[in-house]
Amino acid sequence: MTLYVTVLDRPKNSEVVVSQLADIYPYLSKSIESVSLIGSEEKIQWVRNNTGLHLSFPANASGNYAWCYKIRLK
């Protein structure tokens, strides 16, 4: 199963936080297998905790308007 997260503005601190995917909410019951940023070869660092799913955002990410993370679930 795959989940996509679209970001519509370049983050100011090199991190995207998806608060609705925090581990305290029931919206995501499966474990995360891997995370990638479509169009980037950079390894995406991520952590999921009670404040959200925290995703690294590469400084050299191409594009000006939108970016899409691909989240593979187990």
Residue 27 pLDDT grade (very low, low, confident, very high; cuts 50, 70, 90): confident
> What pTM, to 2 d.p., does this model score?
0.92
pLDDT digits (tens, 9 = 90+) for 39-49: 999 999 999 99
Q: Which residues pair with 35 in a beta bridge?
A: 71
Evaluate whether 27 touches 21 at the Cβ level (below 8 Å).
Answer: yes
Residue 28 pLDDT grade (very low, low, confident, very high; cuts 50, 70, 90): confident
Evaluate whether 20 touches 45 at the Cβ level (below 8 Å).
Answer: no
Tokens 């581990």 sit on residue: 23
